[in-house]
Amino acid sequence: MNTAFIPVRGGSKSIPLKNIKLINGKPLVYWTALASQNAECIDKVIIATDSEEIKSTVLNFGFDKLEVYDRDKTNAEDTSSTESVMLEYISKSNLKDEDLFFLIQATSPMLKAEHIDGMYNEFLAGKYDSMFTGVREKQFKWIQLPRPKGEGWGEGANLLQPVNYDYHNRPRRQEFEGLIAETGACYINSVGNIKRDQCRLSGNIGAYEMPSYTIYELDEPTDWIIVEELMKRV
């Protein structure tokens, strides 16, 4: 059994009822629900929500794989982790430890069925324990270090340190491997691993590389403008 699990809260602060706000004519959560519905590898789609308005909206999608799970409000607060609602659902379901659990984020509407199926095939071929969607970034990245306390901090000392390259030997972009950034769009793990490790990722972890434009997540109003336009073009 392969279950796609899409957690959506009613209490979004940055964009009220964000998960059913229209984007390109459809509620936001519609797009990842559609991708999950159309993915050949997915047997069941669970949308977990604490909102009656969201529940009513998604039940009108008419997707035959889709079910709504009424998540506990204690796991739908601003401080609630995604893992908390995953574990809540798993504890109340009849899923087996060997079943696969696809955590899918509604705020990644550019996720398509072919991405989910491609990720699943790569997961199986690589014999991974878990996998996440990622985008390869080739920017040179630096970290800001905290300023040391006390005396002896000399002028001109550098608080910035490179993360992924040696600035004395700057690589050509074509030859630079870069870093893989999680997009948050989709994660795969087994039910047994999630129960044991209390985490969406565990064991031998693989990264499924997605197109660069899928890095955007819908968290702020400006993200909405960018993603809505991208969805029309790709």
Give tens-digit pLDDT for 166-218.
888 888 877 788 889 999 999 999 999 999 999 999 999 999 999 998 988 88
Query: 214: domain CATH number?
Result: 3.90.550.10
pLDDT at 79: 80
Please say whether the beta carbons of 41 and 101 come within 8 A: no
Residue 198 domain boundaries:
2-135+181-233
The C-alpha atoms of residue 107 and residue 152 are separated, in whole angstroms, by 47
- Which tokens hold the place of 227? 């993603």
In a domain, 55, yes or no: yes
In a domain, 16, yes or no: yes
Please say whether the beta carbons of 203 and 130 come within 8 A: yes
* Count of beta carbons in the 10 Å neighbourhood of residue 34: 19
pLDDT at 150: 59
In a domain, 6, yes or no: yes
Nearest CA among 49, 59, 86, 65 for reference residue 2: 65
Determine the average pLDDT of the residues in 143-148.
80
In a domain, 143, yes or no: no
The C-alpha atoms of residue 155 and residue 200 are separated, in whole angstroms, by 45
The C-alpha atoms of residue 208 and residue 226 are separated, in whole angstroms, by 23
Determine the average pLDDT of the residues in 24-28.
95
* Count of beta carbons in the 10 Å neighbourhood of residue 47: 28
* Position 80 pLDDT exceeds 70: yes
How many structural domains are present in the chain? 1
In a domain, 75, yes or no: yes
In a domain, 41, yes or no: yes
More confident residue, 157 or 116: 116
In a domain, 127, yes or no: yes
- DSSP per-residue string spanning the chain: -EEEEEEE-S--SSSTTGGGSEETTEEHHHHHHHHHHH-TT-SEEEEEES-HHHHHHHHTT--TTEEEEE--GGGSSTT--HHHHHHHHHHHS---TTSEEEEE-TT-TT--HHHHHHHHHHHHHTT-SEEEEEEEE-S--EEEPPPPPSS---TT---EEESSS-GGGPPPGGG---EEEEEEEEEEEEHHHHHHHSSS--SSEEEEE--GGGG----SHHHHHHHHHHHHH-
Threshold 0.85, pTM exceeds: yes
Q: Give the largest Cα separation in the chain, rounded.
A: 67
The C-alpha atoms of residue 35 and residue 46 are separated, in whole angstroms, by 13
